[in-house]
Amino acid sequence: MTLSVLWDATAIAVVGATDREGALGRLPVEHLQRYGYAGRIVPVNPKGGTVCGLPAQPSLTDAARSGAIDLALVMVPAAAAADVVGEAGRVGVGVCVVMSSGFAETGPEGRQRQDELVRVAREAGVRLVGPNCIGSVGFGTGQVACFSPLFTADDVPSLSGRVGFATQSGALGYGAVSLALERGLGLGVAVNTGNEADVGTLEVLESLADDPGIDALIGYVEALADGERLRRIASSGKPFALLKAGTSEACSRAAASHTGALATSDRVVDDVLRQLGIARAKDVDELLDIADALVAPRKPAGPRVAVVTTSGGSGILAADAIEQQGLELATLTRATRAALDEVVPAYGATANPVDVTATVMSDPTLFERSLDLIAGDAGVDAVIACFCVLTGQQVMGIVDSLRRVAERTGKPVLVTRTGADFLAPEASGAMRAAGLPSYPTPARAVRALAACWTTGRAQPNPLQHSDVRAPGRLDEPGLKAWLREAGVAVPPGRLVSDATDAAAAVREVGGRAVVKAVVPGLLHKTEAGGVALGITPESAAEAYDRMAALGAQTAGSGVLVEQLAAPQHAVELLVGVTPTPLGPVLSLAAGGVLTEVLGDVTFRLLPLGEGEAASMVDDLRSAPLLRGHRGSPVLDEAALVQLLERVAGLGPALPEGSSLDLNPVLVTTDGCLVLDAAVATESAPGTTTEEV
Amino acid sequence: MTLSVLWDATAIAVVGATDREGALGRLPVEHLQRYGYAGRIVPVNPKGGTVCGLPAQPSLTDAARSGAIDLALVMVPAAAAADVVGEAGRVGVGVCVVMSSGFAETGPEGRQRQDELVRVAREAGVRLVGPNCIGSVGFGTGQVACFSPLFTADDVPSLSGRVGFATQSGALGYGAVSLALERGLGLGVAVNTGNEADVGTLEVLESLADDPGIDALIGYVEALADGERLRRIASSGKPFALLKAGTSEACSRAAASHTGALATSDRVVDDVLRQLGIARAKDVDELLDIADALVAPRKPAGPRVAVVTTSGGSGILAADAIEQQGLELATLTRATRAALDEVVPAYGATANPVDVTATVMSDPTLFERSLDLIAGDAGVDAVIACFCVLTGQQVMGIVDSLRRVAERTGKPVLVTRTGADFLAPEASGAMRAAGLPSYPTPARAVRALAACWTTGRAQPNPLQHSDVRAPGRLDEPGLKAWLREAGVAVPPGRLVSDATDAAAAVREVGGRAVVKAVVPGLLHKTEAGGVALGITPESAAEAYDRMAALGAQTAGSGVLVEQLAAPQHAVELLVGVTPTPLGPVLSLAAGGVLTEVLGDVTFRLLPLGEGEAASMVDDLRSAPLLRGHRGSPVLDEAALVQLLERVAGLGPALPEGSSLDLNPVLVTTDGCLVLDAAVATESAPGTTTEEV
C-alpha cells in the first residue's frame, strides 16, 4: 500500500489533542491550521471541549462518524496507544502515526509494549508509523502533521518543493528540514519514522518514489536492511541519496541497540549503495548539498566536468575534488581552446580549469561567449563555475549568462561562490531561481555533481541463472562436486577408501597430488595438519594414514585426493557469498593470509547484474596483479568474471543464513581454479547485537 | 626580518594612487581611510593632485621627505614596478607590495620582468610581496592595505580577532575572509602573497607566529616547499592549519606551472604535516571551522571525547566522526554512569554518547548537573554537545550551562546545532561570546576538535647522529660497506676477483650464497639476470663467469658474493631517503613487487625526531604482519626501528639531490637485514614541472 496519507490525507484525527498552550498534544492541530491544511482536522479527547477552536470528539469512532478519517496521530500515553490503534482499524483508518514515547526506546518493558502495539496494528489492518516519532509533513498541502518546534518558530520560510525526505531520527531530521528551509531548498514531504516498529524509512521512500509530486529522494537511516526494497527504490529512476549513520564499529553497536535492527558492515553498505546507484552522503550538510543538485533542472549525461573560474585557487580546488570524487576533468578540444584563446587574455588559462580572468568577467558578452564555448564542447558533460568575492552589482549579469548557457546546451551548470552573502544578498536567490545549484566551495559543488552522476541511472539487467540445485553435502567433496556441476573449475580428484586407493587416485590425477582430511567440524584444516602437499604415489599411503587418523573419531570423515595445482604464475583470491541484513552479497577479496591485513575487498548485492562481476575486479586495489604488473604474465580475468557470475548464481541455493567461502581461488594464465570450499552457518551472520 | 609592516605599518605610500571613482588605484586609500587606519597614508602620483582628499606626492622619494615610510603599495603598470622598488630601497622603505599584474602569470615575457623585479628588490634591500596580489589587512589597526572589493561592500561586519591568515590566492583568500567575517570569526591579519616572487606564504606565517597579537595560524597554499620553515612555524607552539590545494596529479602540474614551484607528492605532504603537528584542512569551510576551534579559550589535553546529545542520531554521527578522525570515544567511569543514572531517564543513555533526553533539557539544573558529571570525568578530554531544533527560548540557558561547565572543568566544549538560524537568531553570537565554537553538524565539530588536538603540541626532540661520512662509492658494495659502518646490518660478503676467489668467498659465508653482478648503470639487476641465488662452492665458478660477463664491457664492474639470507619467517620492506621540495624524507613501504600495488607507504621529514621511527611502523597497514598475524612469529620490530633511525642519520651524507633505496629490507625474528642498496640521482627528483 502507499503511505501517501502521511503527506496527502483528506482528514486527520489527532487523538490525545488538548487545548493547553505549549502542550505537545496541541501542536499538530495548531500547525495544521497555521500552515493552511485544507483537509478536515478532528481533535479527539474523551473530555470533549475544543482544541484551537475545533470541537473535540470523545473518540476516534465518534470522529469517523462525520466522515472518513485516513490518518490518525496518536498522542495518548504509551499504555493507551494500542487501544487507539485497534479502534482505528475498526473505523477504517489505514495509517496511525504513534507519536507517544515509552516504547522500545525505554527498555525491555517498553519493547514488550511496542510488540503488543504491532500485534494489534497487524490484527486491525492498520499501518503503524513510529512509535516515538515526531510526525510527517506535506509541504505543498500545508499538512504539518507533526509537533516539531520548528513549525512553532516565528519566521519559518514558506517554501515547498519536490524533494521527498524520510528520516529515522526526528530531532536530527527536523533539524535538517530547518536547514533546508534556511538555504531555500524546497521539500515536498518529510516523514519521521522513529522506532520503526512497522513502517521503516525505506518503505516511506518507496511510497515517495511512486509520488508524481516528488522528483528526488533523500533519507537518513541508522540501520539498513532489505536490499530488495532499496533496489526497487533505486530502480524507480528518481535520484536518491542516503545518509547512513553508524559507520564506526562502536556506532554499529549503538545503532543496533537503539533500533534492535541488525547492523551491516559499513563496507558492504558503501559497495551496495554504489552498486544500486544510490548516492551516499557523509553528513547532513552534504545530504542537502546533494538534494539541491538532484532537483536542479539538468543532469549530467557523463562524468566529464569543465571548470570555469576567475580564481586560480578555486580552479585547483575544483580539479582536486573532481579527481577525488571519481569524476573526470574534461579535456577541451583543440577547436574550443583556439576559440577561447581569442577571448581569454594571456594571463588566463584556456585549458581546463579555464581561468577566464577579471577582464572577461568585466564584459558580460565575453563571459557568455567563453561559457558557450566551454559548455558547448562535445567532451563536456557538466560545468562548474567558480567565483570568489562576487559583489551585488555583478551577480545578475553573471546569473543570466549562466542560465542562458545552461538552457542552450542542456548541460548542468553548478556554481561555487566563495564569498559572504553580505557581498551580494540577492545572489543565492537569483541562482536558485535560475536553476543553478550554488555552493560556498568548489569541493561541495563537485561532491553534489558527483552524486547526481551516481544516481538515477538505469540499473543493469540481472543475470539469469538456470535452476541451481542445493549442494548435496556441505563438506569439501560435496561442495566441489556441486561447484563442478555449476561449471566452476575445481582440481580433479576424489574421495579415497584406503591407502592403496589413495595411491591409485594420485596416479589418476597425474602423479602429484594434495591429500586432505575431510572431517566435519574441522576448521583451519591447514593449521590442524589436515593438508599434505606434493604427494606422489609412493608417499600416498603415509599421507592417507595421517589424514585418516585426523578423522578417526568423527563420523562422516574421509580423505580427499586432488591434483596438485602449481601453476607458474597465479594470484590467490577469495570469493564468497555472505548473508547480510541487506540480503546475500557476493564478495571478492585479495586472498591468502593477507586478506584481513590488505582489506582489499568488494561486495555486490545478489542477484548480480550484467557487467557487475567485471566491475568487482576493477574495484580491487590489487587488480594490476592480474593485468601484467611489472612484466608478470596477464592472468585469465575473463575466467574470474565467469566464476564470479556462476558463484553468484549459486547463492540462492545455499542453506538459509549460511555463507560460502571459496578460498583460495587461483587465477592462472589459463583459467580459474577453486582450491578449497567451505560453508559456514552463523547464528547472527555478519552482525553485532551486543548492547553498548 | 619580520614582515609585520604588512599589518602594522606606521606610514603607507600608495604608488600609482588615483582619485578616479572605481579605479583600483583609489581603493587602498579609500579602504585605509574607511576602516580607520591611524598611521600616515601617502598617495603617490607624478601628476600630483589629491586622492580621497589627501595631497598626492609626485614620487616615493618626495613621500619619504615628510617622514619615514615603512610600507609601499605598488600599483603602477608592470613595466614601471622595478623602478619604484629600486627607489623604495633608496629611501628606506623595507617592504613593497607589488599589486600590479603582468608578471610570471602572463607567460615567458612576464616571467622575465618578474625576475628583473626580484633582482632589483634584492639589490635595493627591499622585501617584495607579490607581484599580482591584492594586498594585506591588519584588522585590529584598520590597515586595509588592499583593493579587494570585499572592503567596498556596504555591510562589512566590523570585527577583529586573533587568527593570522596568509594566502597565496587573492580572490579565494579574500572570499574566505568574507566568509570568516560572515560567521563572526575574527581575524587579526590577512596577507595575500600572489606570485610569491620573493616573500611566500610560509614566510608570512613565520612572522605571524612571532606576533603577540596572533593566537592561531591558517594558510592557503598551492605549492609547498621548505620543510624547515614549516617546522619552525609549527615549533612556535601556535596552533596551525593549512589548506594545501593541488592534491590531484593534474593539479600538482597546474599548481607547478602556476607558481613555478616544484610540486610535492600529496602523500608526502599529508604525512609531513601530520608529523609536524600541522592540521590539514581539505576545504575553505573546514579551514574556517578549524580556525574557530583553534582560537577558542580551551584546548583538549588528550583525544578522549564525550558526546552529550538530545538526539540519538546526532550522537551516532558524532561517534562516527570521532572514529574517522582518529579521536577516541571516551569511556565514562562506573561512578559517572551511576551518577548520571540518577539524572537521566530510562529512555536516555548514560554510556557515551550520552543521550540526556528532552526531560533533562527542559530542566536547566538537571542539564548542568549531567554536563558537570560528564565533563568532570577524568577520562574525558573534551565534550561535544549536540542539539538539533533548538529554539530561541532555550538557547540562553543552555549556553550559560555549557560555558560554566567549560570554565569549571577547563575542558573544551564544542557545540553542534543542526538547526536553522531563524529558530534561534541569537544562538550563534551567544555561543561565540561564551567561547563555545559551534557547528551545524557533528562531523564538522569533531573535525575541528581533531585539528585542535593535532596542532600546537610540542615537537619531539630531533635524534642526534654522530658524524656520518659520505659513502665512498655509490655501487652496491660501496653502499653496503657504508651501511655496515653506520651499524645497519647487511649480509656478510665481499667483492671477488675471479672464479676461484668466488668459490672461496662462498665457503667463507657458509656455503650458500648469492652472487651478484656489480655493473655501473645496470638498473633492474634481477630482470637483467644479474643475481644468482643459492650458489654453492661447486656452482660458484659458473655463477661468477655469468655475472662477470654482464659487466665485461663496463668500467668499474665487479662480482659480489654474499651470504644467502633465507630466514624461515620474514617480511620484506622498502626503506629509503628521497629528496622532495620540502626537504629529504625518510620513507618506509611494504615491499617487494607489491610496493606500488599496495600503496602502503609512510614518510617523515628529516631530521627524524624521537619516537617517529616507531610511529612510521605503526602507520603501515601491513604492520600486523610484523606482529604475529594469524599465528606467524613476532618479528624484530625494534631492529626495524633502529634501522630506520640509522638510515635517517645517513640522509645528510647522501650526494645532493640523490635518493637512497634499500629494497628489500628483510625483517626477521631476530634482526633486520638490507639485501640490496642503490642510490639514484634525478634531475628534478620527486617532482613534475611539465606545463599543462
pLDDT score for A682: 60
pLDDT digits (tens, 9 = 90+) for A426-456: 999 999 999 999 999 999 999 999 999 999 7
The answer to whether A329 and A451 have CB atoms below 8 angstroms apart is no
pLDDT at A150 over 50: yes
The answer to whether A455 and A240 have CB atoms below 8 angstroms apart is yes
- Among candidates B170, B88, B176, B129, which has minimal Cα distance to B4? B129
Helix orientation angle between A266-276 and A227-235, rounded to the nearest 10 degrees: 30
Residue of B nearest to A170 (CA): B311
Residue of B nearest to A222 (CA): B313
The answer to whether B61 and B37 have CB atoms below 8 angstroms apart is no
Interchain pair A320, B245: CB under 8 A: yes
Residue range A371-379: mean pLDDT, rounded: 96
pLDDT at A692 over 90: no
Residue B171: which of A220, A389, A594 has the nearest Cβ? A389
Total length of chain A? 692
Residue B167's DSSP bridge partners are B192, B220
Question: The pTM is what?
Answer: 0.94
- CA-CA distance, B145 to B164, in Å (whole number)? 15
Interchain pair B153, A391: CB under 8 A: yes
3-class DSSP string for A252-290:
HHHHHHHHCCCCCCHHHHHHHHHHHCCEEECCHHHHHHH
**Burial letters A631-666, b for 16+ CB under 10 A, else e:** eeeebbbebbbbbbbbbbbbbebbeeebbbbbbbbb
pLDDT score for B249: 64
Residue B445 phi/psi, 5-degree rounding, is -65, -45
- Which bin fits B22, alpha (ψ -120 to 50), beta or left (φ > 0)? left
pLDDT digits (tens, 9 = 90+) for A256-265: 433 333 345 8
ipTM, 2 decimals? Answer: 0.93
Q: Pull the grid cell for residue A554.
A: 568423527
Residue B106: which of A153, A346, A443 has the nearest Cβ? A346
Q: Containing H/E element for A531? A: strand A531-535
Interchain pair A597, B692: CB under 8 A: no
Residue to mutate among B283, B362, B394, B523, with most A CBs inside 10 A, is B283
Q: Which amino acid is at A314?
A: S
pLDDT score for B256: 43
Residue A153: which of B310, B313, B422 has the nearest Cβ? B422
- CA-CA distance, A173 to B419, in Å (whole number)? 10
- CA-CA distance, A258 to A420, in Å (whole number)? 40
Q: How far does A314 lie from chain B, in Å, by closest CA?
A: 6
- CA-CA distance, B96 to B546, in Å (whole number)? 67
Interchain pair B149, A391: CB under 8 A: yes
- The gap from C-alpha B452 to its chain's centroid, in whole angstroms, comes to 14
Total length of chain B? 692
Residue range A617-628: mean pLDDT, rounded: 92
pLDDT score for B252: 54
A176 CB neighbours in chain B (<8 A) are 418
The answer to whether B269 and B243 have CB atoms below 8 angstroms apart is no
The widest CA-to-CA distance across chain B, in whole angstroms, is 99
- Among candidates B672, B483, B485, which has minimal Cα distance to B567? B672
Share of chain A above pLDDT 90, in %: 79
Residue B509 phi/psi, 5-degree rounding, is -90, 10
B283 CB neighbours in chain A (<8 A) are 317, 441, 443-444
- CA-CA distance, B558 to B552, in Å (whole number)? 9
Interchain pair A171, B311: CB under 8 A: yes
B171 CB neighbours in chain A (<8 A) are 310-311, 313-314, 388-389
Strand order in the sheet with A11-15: A40-44, A11-15, A71-74, A95-98, A127-129
pLDDT score for B466: 79
Q: Containing H/E element for A578? A: strand A570-578
Interchain pair B254, A110: CB under 8 A: no
Q: Pull the grid cell for residue B638.
A: 625494534
- Among candidates B554, B505, B504, which has minimal Cα distance to B528? B554
pLDDT digits (tens, 9 = 90+) for A328-365: 999 999 999 999 999 998 878 889 999 988 788 888 88
A248 CB neighbours in chain B (<8 A) are 319-320, 322-324
Residue of B nearest to A243 (CA): B317
Q: Containing H/E element for A497? A: none
pLDDT score for A595: 72
- CA-CA distance, A102 to A91, in Å (whole number)? 25
- Which bin fits A545, alpha (ψ -120 to 50), beta or left (φ > 0)? alpha
Q: How far does B317 lie from chain A, in Å, by closest CA?
A: 6
User: What residue has cell string 570568489?
Assistant: A388
Q: Pull the grid cell for residue A558.
A: 574421509
Kindly report the number of other CB atoms within 10 A of residue B503's CB atom: 22
Q: Which residues of chain B have pLDDT under 50?
A: 254-263, 683-692
Q: Pull the grid cell for residue A274.
A: 554504489
The answer to whether B130 and B147 have CB atoms below 8 angstroms apart is no
SS3 A10: coil
pLDDT score for A349: 86
B201 CB neighbours in chain A (<8 A) are none
pLDDT at A171 over 50: yes
Residue to mutate among B388, B573, B596, with most A CBs inside 10 A, is B388
B324 CB neighbours in chain A (<8 A) are 247-248
Q: How far does B538 lie from chain A, in Å, by closest CA?
A: 28
- Please return the burial class of B521, using the count of CB atoms within 10 Å of its CB with bins 0-12, 13-18 and 19+: exposed
Residue A3 phi/psi, 5-degree rounding, is -100, 20
pLDDT digits (tens, 9 = 90+) for A52-71: 999 999 999 999 998 999 99
> Per-residue confidence at A593, pLDDT binned at 50, 70, 90?
low
